[in-house]
Structures are given as C-alpha cells and as structure tokens.
Amino acid sequence: MNDEALAAMERRAAARGWVFAPTLWQLIEARAAATPDAVLAHEDTGRELTFASYRDACLRAAAGLFAHHGVTAGTGVSWELPTWNESLVLVGALCRLGARQNPLIPIYRHREVGFITAQSEAALLVVPTEYRGFDFEAMAREIAAARPGLSVLVVDRDLPDADPDVLPPPAPAAASAEGAPVRWLFYTSGTTADPKGAPHTDLTVTAAALAMAECLDIRHDDVSALVFPFTHIGGIGWLIASLLTGCTLLTTEAFDPSETPAFLAGNGVTLAGSGTPFHLAYLAAQRAAGDGPIFREVRSYPGGGAPKPPQLHHDLKAEIGGVGIVSGYGLTEAPIVVMATTEDPDRKLAETEGRPTPGVDLKVVTLDGRVAGPGEEGEIRLKGAQVISGYLDPSLDAEAFDDQGYFRSGDLGIVDAEGFVTITGRLKDVIIRHGENISAKEVEDLLYEHPAVADVAVIGLPDPKTGERACAVVAVAEGQSFDFATMGAYLRGRGLRVNAVPEQLEVVDAVPRNPAGKILKHTLRDRFTQGDSTSDGGKP
C-alpha cells in the first residue's frame, strides 16, 4: 500500500458519499458521527447495535482491556469467539487501543491455537467458556500454562468494562501509507502443515472491503447477511463495509439451514450472502416454501470463499429473484482481488468471478512459466493494495512470491478477452491421469446440473496404473438416486471427454466444508485413499 493507492481509495469512497478514514478506529468514529442511530448489527437473538452505541461499547471495552488486562498499543491479542455483537465490539476496542489482533476461526483447536499464539507472541487469548460442545476455556488455560506471558480472558457475552476516561489518546494515523503498522494477523488453515500468518494493516483490509462494497453497489439502506464465522477475514471485511456505507448486518451465532433463511427473510435481507453452501440452503428453503419468493427485497447474492456451480446462479435468480450471485475471489493473503458487479452480464455472473478490482495487477502464468494470453489457463499471481507484503514467517516468502514480486496464489484460472476471471481449480486439484490433465471444477460444474446431485466434489486418488484416478463424491438430493452408470452416461451425454469421466463414485450424506464454505478435499482424499469406500465404480 502506498500513498497514491490511499488517495485513490479516499476519492472512490467520496464519489459514493461514503465515510472513509485511514485507521479503523477513525472510521468507527466517522460513521457514528454520520449516522449515529442507524443499525450496524442485528442478531438473530433480537439484540441490536446502532453505530453510536457500537462506538460507545467499543470505548468502554477498550477501557476495560486497558485497565484490567494491560492491553495497549502493540499488544498481541488472539481471540476465538462466535459471531456475537460482542465480537464486533472487541474488534473496535482493540482498534481503539492500537493492539495487534489475531481473530481465530472457532474450528481451531489445541494444535493450531497453540502454534498461532506462540508464533504471534500473543499476550492475551480471549475465548468463550464453551461453544458448540467444546471446552474452549480448558484448551486456552492448558495452552497458557505451557507458555509464560500468555494470559486468558474468558468472555461469555460480557466484555471487560471501564470508564473511557482512563484511556490514553488514540494512536494517530501513520505519516504515510507505507508506514502503516500491522494491526491484524490472519492465519490460513493448515492441513498437513502449520497455519501461515498473514499480517495486514487497517489499510489493506479496508482496501478489500471498499472494493467489495463498490462491486456490490452497497447502499446505506441495504441489509446484508453475515452468516459465516465473523473471525474469518471476510467477516472483518463486512464490518468495514458496513462502516464505510452505513448498511446493516444480520448476524447469527451459527448458521441453520431452516432457521437462518427465515431470520433473514423476516428482516428484509437485500444482500443474501455469502457463499455456495449458504446459497444452496436459501434455494432449498425457497423450494420448501413454495409460495412466492422468501426474500422479497433481495438485490443480489454475494459469493466467495468457494467455487460456485454456474447453474446455482440461474436457479437463485429464477426462483427467488435479484440479479443472481455476485461473487468475488481472494485469499487470506489477498482478499477481494477479483469481483463481479451487479451490472455484469448474466453469463459472466454465472460463469466467472468478475474482473480484477481497482488497483489490482493480476497475471496468469502457465505451468511452463509463460505469461498466459486470453483464455489460456495458468496460476493466478497478484499485486495490489490488499495483498500482504510477506508472511509473519519470512522463510515462507521465497516460495510465495515470484521474482517480480507477484504473490503466487496457487490457484489456476483463465482471464478472457474482456478481463473476466474464471477460477478453474487449485494447482493441486489438477488430476493427472495417464499424463493428461483433468480439471476437477469442470466435472463438478457438470455434475451439479444433474437434478439428483445436491452437492459434489471431484478429487484425485492415487492409482498404480494411471498415476491418479478421478473420484466423484456426491451428496444426493432428497428423494433421488444416483449411481455410477447414471453418472457416466450423463457426463458422456454432456460431451465430457472420456478421460475426464470419474472412475469412482462415492455417495455421502454431506460433502464436508469448512465454515467459509470451502470443500475439505484433503479430508475426502484421506478418507477414500484409506479404503473407506462404498464405490460401485468401474471404467468410464
């Protein structure tokens, strides 16, 4: 992030009549002054925060953290809370103090939390007593007992509280954008390796939120669904988008496929996010309801975090309304670097993730190292205001950045002649059978269009003869049936080359996804590599 990029962000926000500030605490104050009585957050419990009451709650919590727990500028604070109003307040309180905060997704357990708090040198770990049947307090105290200097704060809806008069003055904004301090540490999920710490400044996360707000054309009277874990970088992005635009967030502690759509419908949701598993639940709720659209005021379905089947876009638009899915692409290290807009053509909304957002420099590099031309597949590499300058562990940087300073995403994609980006898979999701490449996403998109398929993942499994074989893992729609012969005939009928037709079919109750909606393909590979199979597979 440089001063030129910062000035461009200020101009873009001003052009839309939004508030803007170079630090998140200044943004909180600016929004509270602009629309004090507007609602920032409405929980499914009925509890609300206006922008003014949010600012005031942040100040009292900041005072409590400062007076009772010694949190001040630069203090490392890791926190792992559900999506509560108090979680939003904790963010603001830590911003007021100038702490370096590290939100943790609530699926993290002893291994990840222990590693992260040690590497980030956290001085305070904030957890609930218990959440979804897991004893977070016991885990936190065990971790802290093994690491001197780490304290535990247990929060069950009640944050520390004190008179804001005890607070020191807020830290001023940095003299230049390049000098903005690291205020955030987000960690990527570790599967076979340790999680990677991605340092962000207030400006880098605001750059991503501003881009998203522009693409979605967010208005002050919009009502947006924040139904995934708030501690995800996307959750922080939505908080900032609300502060920029003045829109309202509808939040829920845990997504329920029946109750959450009803909650959103009852509160006039206009932006029904935020990814494929949630969109699938909305569509199922609509089909169960039958009479009229369940979301009568919906404008769009923000997406991201996981690939979308193109047919899902068409189904939502036709059966509930709005412009359909407006999706974005990014990573923890580089959030919202690509996004569609509400005015993009229908086909582009269905089949692509949109175009690079303002200021993003994106290139595609083929597997043999060439810069790809339009329509040519390769690895997506990135520069931009929202892209980290390096990992917390600098030993990871040599592999993460190319020799021109572009961040290597590890994702495969295509940019068409009009600049629209299609994500075709992960480098590791290319299935190589007899030396020929098979795109898992291509097969998944076709299978999803079959009426018996509710959800699907295609994975590569080791094969002694071919190197790898393609395995389709399918959750079958209620009342339907789906078998290997049906799959093969359908895919061949759709024109899929014989080499790409999966050689194995596994029917499961549900395709496993993480809280952000990404399919846990490593879990499926482990499961079916180890022989946990009910396959009726054969040759394609």
Give the domain CATH number at 394.
Answer: 3.40.50.12780
pLDDT category at 191 given cuts 50, 70, 90 is very low
Shortest CA distance to 5 belongs to which of 201, 287, 169?
A: 201
Q: What is the pLDDT of residue 519?
A: 86
Please report, for the domain that includes residue 462, its CATH number: 3.30.300.30
The pLDDT tens digits of the residues spanning 495-530 come to 888 888 999 999 999 999 876 677 888 889 889 987
Do 11 and 74 share a domain, yes or no?
yes
Same domain? For 342 and 476 the reply is no
**pLDDT tens digits along 484-497:** 999 999 999 998 88
Report the distance separating Cα 498 and Cα 191, nearest Å: 32
Same domain, 10 and 137: yes
pTM, rounded to two decimals = 0.84
pLDDT at 138: 97
**Of the residues 186, 203, 220, the one at which a domain ends:** 203
Does residue 439 belong to any structural domain of this protein? yes
Q: Judge if 415 and 438 occupy the same domain.
A: no
Domain count, the chain: 3
In this structure, the answer to whether residues 374 and 340 fall within a common structural domain is yes
* SS3 state of residue 218: coil
Question: 262 and 190 share a domain?
Answer: no
69 and 140 belong to one structural domain: yes
Residue ranges making up the domain that contains 457? 434-529
- The per-residue pLDDT for range 149-162, each reduced to its tens digit, is 999 999 999 999 99
| Alpha-helical segments (H) within 176-249 | 202-215, 233-245
Among the candidates 379, 408, 427, a domain finishes at 427
Tokens representing residue 321 in the block: 């309304």
- Please write the tens of the pLDDT for every residue from 461-492: 988 777 789 999 999 999 999 999 999 999 99
405 and 442: one domain? no
- Tell me which of 378, 405, 427 is where a domain ends: 427
Residue 231: inside a domain, yes or no?
A: no
Residue range 76-100: mean pLDDT, rounded: 98
Q: Per the domain annotation, does 296 fall within a domain?
A: yes
Between 41 and 427, the higher pLDDT residue = 41
Please state which of the ranges 42-56, 305-319, 389-403, 425-439 shows the lowest mean pLDDT: 425-439
**Angle between helix 202-215 and helix 24-34 axes, rounded to 10 deg:** 50
For 41, 82, 260, the CA distances from 252, given in Å and listed in that order, are 10, 9, 8
- Judged against a pLDDT cut of 80, whether residue 14 lies above it is answered with yes
